Amino acid sequence: MMKLIRLIFHHLCKYTFLHSIFHFFIEIIFYSSEALDGIEFARGSSTSQWGSLRASMGHPEPFDLRFVAIGNEDCHKYNYLGNYLKFYEAIKHDYPDIQIISNCDGSIHQLDHPADLYDFHIYTDSKDMFSDYTKFDNAPRSGPKAFVSEYAVWKEDAGAGSLYAAVAEAAFLIGLEKNSDIVSMVAYAPLFLNTNDRKWIPDAIVFNSYQNYGTPSYWLQQLFIESSGATLLNSTLQNSSSSIVASAIEYKNSQDGKNYLRVKVVNFGNATENFMISINGLNSIVQSSNSSMVVLTSSNRMDENSFSEPNKIVPQRTALGNASNDMDVRLPPYSVTSFDLSI
């Protein structure tokens, strides 16, 4: 009798298990189909089923949708990889040009599944963020590139948007810039904060019904605008330092049409540093005319912008009269300095 009961129980479990698998498989087909409908709504022609709905809502032109991320911080969940592959295959079949972003981190080991990019998030304190400027130095140079879609210093070091956070983030961004062969894109997160609905700290732009201001982390990103499309130059620190990070790029200024060398230097220490910039290997010399420097700093590392003082911490640009191929400069404590040298 006991043997028969066990046999019946075994068959019931097997039936329930198979039923669950079938139900789960049907759900995945449904959700992947919905994803395709969503893509068609965004970029389909105005005569397609879902594109026509978009057009009827006042936007006949397709959106320039190029990337689709599958999931959000879901890599280590039990069913993620199987689900990911279903979505990947469905999207690539209908839209082979769309770049698919995996949730799995490929900065240490190559991914074991197909992807065009992998998503990387980092939220940490200022010291760790500063130290992570080397995060991608030893990452695999083949395979999908990284999309650092969320980064920020948070919690106590961030306050409501501190200089301390921004300086650490600047070092991290310099590290990404130096590894731009394997880091495709980067985005700060979050972007906007309604001060009457504060659920997350920090954010880049704070607003209410009639005011707004940018945090130091927002203003910091102004110093990296020229990085896109620029030429990364080889730069090294002659003396090792636990508080200095630097990089150099060459770019063409779209406003005056001139070529510039931009040297960005982060001083994460609490003391002013004497710093010598020595430039070799260029076909031209640095011109003092049109050269300038921009400094982001304040008297206290925990200083913040606010509605009452929206410009307390903003980039300050001054002419650089001593600009040359070899020059001595001073770096304020907890600062980000950008030297724009006309060449």
Least confident of 9-13, 68-72, 273-277: 9-13
* Shared domain check, 239 and 163: no
Structure confidence by residue, pLDDT tens digits, 180-196: 999 999 999 889 999 99
Q: What is the CATH number of the domain that holds 215?
A: 3.20.20.80
* Shared domain check, 184 and 68: yes
Asked if residue 12 is part of any domain, the answer here is: no
* Shared domain check, 335 and 248: yes
Asked if residue 198 is part of any domain, the answer here is: yes
Asked if residue 30 is part of any domain, the answer here is: no
Asked if residue 8 is part of any domain, the answer here is: no
Range of the domain at 135: 60-227
* Shared domain check, 159 and 92: yes
What pLDDT is stored for residue 227 in this prediction? 84
What pLDDT is stored for residue 77 in this prediction? 92
* Shared domain check, 149 and 277: no
Asked if residue 55 is part of any domain, the answer here is: no
What pLDDT is stored for residue 254 in this prediction? 86
* Shared domain check, 238 and 214: no
* Shared domain check, 84 and 145: yes
- Give how many domains the chain has, as a whole number: 2
Last residue of a domain, one of 227, 257, 284: 227
Q: Which of 176, 219, 180, 212 is nearest to 193 (CA)?
A: 212
Query: Whole-model pTM?
Result: 0.89
Crossing angle of helices 2-43 and 49-56, rounded to 10°: 50
Give the chain's mean pLDDT: 91
* Shared domain check, 296 and 220: no
What tokens were used for 241?
């330092």
In the DSSP assignment, the letter for residue 277 is E
Asked if residue 31 is part of any domain, the answer here is: no
Structure confidence by residue, pLDDT tens digits, 281-324: 888 899 999 999 999 999 999 999 999 999 999 999 999 999 99
* Shared domain check, 99 and 183: yes
Does residue 172 contact residue 132 with C-beta atoms inside 8 Å? yes
Span 20-49, average pLDDT: 83
Last residue of a domain, one of 205, 227, 249: 227
Structure confidence by residue, pLDDT tens digits, 198-235: 888 889 999 999 999 999 999 999 999 888 889 999 99
The whole-angstrom separation of Cα 218 and Cα 224 is 11
